[in-house]
Amino acid sequence: MTEQMSSKSAAAIDRAKAQGRAALIGYLPAGYPDIQSSIDAGIAMARNGADLIEIGIPYSDPVMDGSVIQAATTEAIANGFHVASVFDVVAGITAATDAAVLVMTYWNPVMRMGVDEFSRRLAEAGGAGLITPDLIPDEAAEWFAASDKYGLDRVFLVAPSSTPERLAMTVEASRGFVYAVSIMGVTGARQSVSSAAEKVVADTHAAGAERVCVGLGVSTADHVREIAAYADGVIVGTALVAAIRDGGVDAVAQLTKNLSAGLGRATAQA
């Protein structure tokens, strides 16, 4: 893993590790239902036990997302979301909390703005880096240059289907942490966590990754507990999106608190 420069994500995960636990990473899309709610919900997640916040950019063709996130991001776009607003959300959350704030985005919106320009503005907003579900290191030359220039984390994904060669290459390309996809599928709550997840994490660690976080299908404190036993961080998305949809920021705060209980400690700031 590229570690010659400081990483906000790595620092946040390491703070959790120093407390003897895995990190909790909460995802919500920007602009759902509106920009201010996204900021408030991000702050609520950070104050109720989330160590890292992942803010998604609503996109017209989200092929890795299941129906709950699709519905939310479609609504955000219909409500007039513009990509540049994501920087306001990031800045709003980083101004109020210590959480590392990453942006999760499909690649075309970044390309459209210009990879360098996007990166500069993300860094200015205090963002930690990008999680890129449809960008593999093989295509990421521009992103390597920009992320180095602005000191941003590059969070690439690994999957149960990744070969040892691709695991090694992806670990080498990543900075901050590696995002292990728990299951072959798209985002969405599932009854149980795939047994494939533990193996992916072990293989990714073995390939040299210091920090591996698991996402996809994680929705309950029990899931969090199970994954926290072997991973450096646990990523929850769909369940939080459903919470803000059904109960607003308060529901996000409550769910985050419940989830963080799975990390094996009471939340400090709640």
Question: Of these residues, 40, 51, 54, 153, which one is catalytic?
Answer: 54
Question: Parallel, antiparallel, or unpaired: how do β-strands 233-236 and 52-56 relate?
Answer: unpaired
Question: Of these residues, 65, 153, 198, 226, which one is catalytic?
Answer: 65
- In this complex, which beta carbon is closest to another protein, that of residue 46 or of residue 155? 155
| Site residues, another protein (CB under 8 A) | 59-64, 66, 70, 74, 77, 82-83, 107-113, 133-136, 138-139, 156-163, 166, 170, 181, 184-186
CB atoms within 10 A of CB 165: 9
Distance between CA atoms of 50 and 60, rounded to whole angstroms? 28
Distance between CA atoms of 111 and 116, rounded to whole angstroms? 9
Single-letter amino acid code for the residue at 184: M
- In this complex, which beta carbon is closest to another protein, that of residue 76 or of residue 100? 76
Per the CB < 8 A criterion, the answer to whether 213 and 12 are in contact is no
CB of 82 to another protein, least distance (A): 6
- In this complex, which beta carbon is closest to another protein, that of residue 112 or of residue 265? 112
CB of 107 to another protein, least distance (A): 6
Short-list 104, 109, 116, 225, CA closest to 157? 104
- In this complex, which beta carbon is closest to another protein, that of residue 30 or of residue 252? 30
CB of 6 to another protein, least distance (A): 26
First to last CA, the chain: 34
CB of 181 to another protein, least distance (A): 6
Asked about 65 being catalytic, the answer comes back as yes
Dihedral sign computed on CA atoms, order 172, 181, 107, 30: negative
Asked about 54 being catalytic, the answer comes back as yes
Q: Which residues does the annotation mark as catalytic?
A: 54, 65
